[in-house]
Structures are given as C-alpha cells and as structure tokens.
C-alpha cells in the first residue's frame, strides 16, 4: 500500500477519498493530461499502486448529447494509463468501471459480472459504456499476456458528500437534492424521463471504506460489482428524499431521456470478499447527504456575505 497514486483525484470519489486517506497522491487534469501517453507515464512514475478513477462523467442528458467527446476522452485516458502502468512497472492497477457498461436489457436481474459483454449497452450512454468495456478488456489482456495484477471494479450510481450538486452534468441524486432544495414549498420541480426506471445507489463513504482492502483482496479478472442489494424506481427515490427533507413540492416528469430501464447488479462476489460489510440504506444516506448539502450551502452563503462586507 506504499506509493498509491489516484487519478481523477479532483472528482467526486477522489475528493472523498482524500478526506480519509490523505497520504495517497491525488492527481487531476490540472496536473497531467492523461489523453497524452507521455503525460500518463509521468503521472504514474514511481507508483507501486495506481487507482484509476479519472474519466469524463456526467448525467444522462450530457452523455446522450456528447457521445463523441465521451468516447474520445475516456478511451484515450484509459488506454494510456494501462500502457503507462506497464511501462513504469506499476505492480497493482485497479480501474473504475460503471454498471452502465452492462447490456441495456438482460434475461434476469440482478446481473452478474460475467454478463458485461452479453449485449449492447443503453443508447443514451453508448460511447461511455464501450470505453469502459474496452478498459475491462485491456486489463484482462495485460493480466493474461504479462501476468500483471491489473483489474477493475464497477460501483453502481454513487451519491453523497462531495458530489457535484449544481451542474447540468450532475448525477441523479445530486441533481435531485439541489433542485428540490432550491425551490420554495409548493413549487414544481421537473425531472427527466418518466420516473419508472429502477436504479441502485451506493453511498460514497461505503465505497471509500472498503477501498484499501479492495486493492489488496480483489485478485480476479472479474469486473467486481459493488452495490447494495436494494434498488428503487426514480419516483421512489424522490419520495424518500421528500420525506427525509420535509420539503413539500410538486413533482413532474418531462418524459425525455429515460435511459436504461434497470441496471441493478449482483453483489454476490463482493459479499464473498466482504461477508460482514453493511451498506448504508438509501434513507440514511439521503439524510447524511442532505445534512452535508445544507451545511455547505450555509457556509457558502456566509463566505459570500463576508466577502460582500469586505467590499
């Protein structure tokens, strides 16, 4: 566990990891442009372990409307990092995938790791999904040809403190919390789609808690799925948050960009590695996230007020 380098250190998961493991070395696009192979080599030089989290990520609308950008940026970063790790003799490489890389529809749910290539992914994030699949295939190839300890893990949708709450590129729960908090009681909040798709959500600190041990014990080529057993429709998630926050607003759905109907993955393999691990429930996770969001907003307003006074 010496000399751990984390790409994507300024992203959602990277920011949260820094709170708990400050001795790891965190890199962002401001440090190195990973789409350039020479820069990727510089980024991982001297590392014993690389945790590859970097990538272009965003919400369903941004994915659907910028497919070329998502493909180009992710395929270059991923390819370069794996090649650079081999070149610089990095002993351990663990790469982040996403459960959206699995097929759009499958015969049964929750799906398992070995089904990742059993069909085409959802059209709304086709490019991002295939870039992630390519990363998975690349790590398998390097394991088999060079005997390297390189593999992947695939968390379901992450939410919690440190997420990007106020951007068009926000993921669903972060966007939901921001939208609902910013309207007055009785006002209407519009969401994408119909509200019927089913999703799993993982509280970010659950993933953070297992990360050091995951680096140590995940030794198979399987793209290890990390997700709680529970899954909910978008409407159920919104209803749960309204109860948690106590906010009374009107909810509407615009019918656009519904995306994949369901993509819940099995945590069977994860449970074998972490048999006693308890996931944070959606209700408790939303409470913790809402508290962090409101405290952060109050802090930002305080800082803004002080700056105005100084002027």
Q: Find out whether 133 and 74 touch, Cβ atoms under 8 Å.
A: no
pLDDT reported for residue 302 = 43
For the whole prediction, is pTM greater than 0.85? yes
pLDDT tens digit sequence for 31-63: 999 999 999 999 999 999 999 999 988 777 787
pLDDT tens digit sequence for 166-205: 766 678 999 999 999 999 999 999 998 999 999 999 999 9
Question: H/E element holding 15?
Answer: helix 12-20
pLDDT at 301 over 60: no
- The structure tokens listed for 264 are 């819940």
pLDDT reported for residue 311 = 47
- Would you say residue 164 lies in a domain? yes
- Would you say residue 309 lies in a domain? no
pLDDT reported for residue 304 = 52
- Would you say residue 92 lies in a domain? yes
CB-count exposure of residue 193 (10 Å: 0-12, 13-18, 19+):
middle
pLDDT reported for residue 65 = 86
- What is the rounded distance in angstroms from the CA atom of residue 100 to the CA atom of residue 110? 13
pLDDT at 299 over 80: no
pLDDT tens digit sequence for 206-244: 999 999 999 999 999 999 999 999 999 999 999 999 999
pLDDT tens digit sequence for 242-292: 999 999 999 999 988 787 888 899 999 999 999 999 999 999 999 999 999
- Would you say residue 199 lies in a domain? yes
- Would you say residue 154 lies in a domain? yes
For residue 108, give the CATH number of its domain. 3.40.50.720
Domain of 92, in residue numbers: 4-299
pLDDT reported for residue 167 = 61
pLDDT reported for residue 170 = 75
CB-count exposure of residue 158 (10 Å: 0-12, 13-18, 19+):
buried
pLDDT reported for residue 308 = 53
pLDDT reported for residue 303 = 45
pLDDT tens digit sequence for 85-124: 999 999 999 999 999 999 999 999 999 999 999 999 988 8
Total domains, the chain: 1
- Would you say residue 32 lies in a domain? yes
- Would you say residue 308 lies in a domain? no
- Would you say residue 28 lies in a domain? yes
């Amino acid at each position: 566990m010496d000399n751990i380098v984390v790409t994507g250190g300024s992203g959602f998961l990277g920011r949260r990891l820094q709170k708990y493991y400050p001795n790891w070395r965190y890199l962002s696009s401001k440090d190195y442009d990973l789409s350039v192979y020479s820069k990727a080599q510089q980024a991982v030089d001297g590392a014993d372990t690389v945790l590859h989290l970097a990538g272009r990520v965003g919400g369903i609308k941004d994915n659907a409307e910028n497919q070329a950008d998502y493909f180009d940026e992710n395929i270059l970063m991923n390819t370069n990092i794996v090649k650079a790790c081999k070149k610089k003799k990095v002993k351990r490489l663990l790469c982040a995938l996403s459960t959206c890389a699995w097929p759009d529809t499958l015969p049964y749910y929750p799906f398992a790791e070995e089904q990742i290539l059993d069909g085409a992914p959802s059209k709304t994030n086709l490019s991002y999904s295939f870039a992630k699949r390519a990363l998975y295939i690349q790590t398998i190839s390097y394991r088999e040809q060079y005997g390297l300890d390189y593999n992947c893990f695939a968390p379901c949708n992450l939410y919690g403190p440190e997420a990007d709450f106020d951007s068009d590129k926000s993921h669903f729960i972060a966007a939901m919390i921001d939208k609902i908090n910013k309207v007055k009681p009785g006002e209407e909040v519009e969401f994408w789609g119909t509200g019927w798709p089913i999703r799993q959500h993982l509280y970010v600190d659950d993933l953070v808690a297992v990360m050091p041990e995951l680096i140590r014990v995940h030794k198979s080529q399987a793209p290890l799925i990390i997700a709680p057993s529970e899954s909910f429709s978008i409407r159920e998630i919104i209803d749960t948050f309204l109860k948690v926050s106590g906010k009374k607003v009107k909810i509407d759905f615009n019918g656009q960009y519904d995306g994949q109907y369901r993509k819940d993955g099995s945590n069977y393999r994860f449970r074998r590695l972490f048999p006693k691990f308890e996931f944070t429930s959606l209700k408790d996770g939303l409470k913790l996230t809402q508290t962090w969001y409101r405290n952060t907003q109050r802090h930002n307003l305080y800082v803004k007020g002080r700056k105005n006074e100084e002027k």
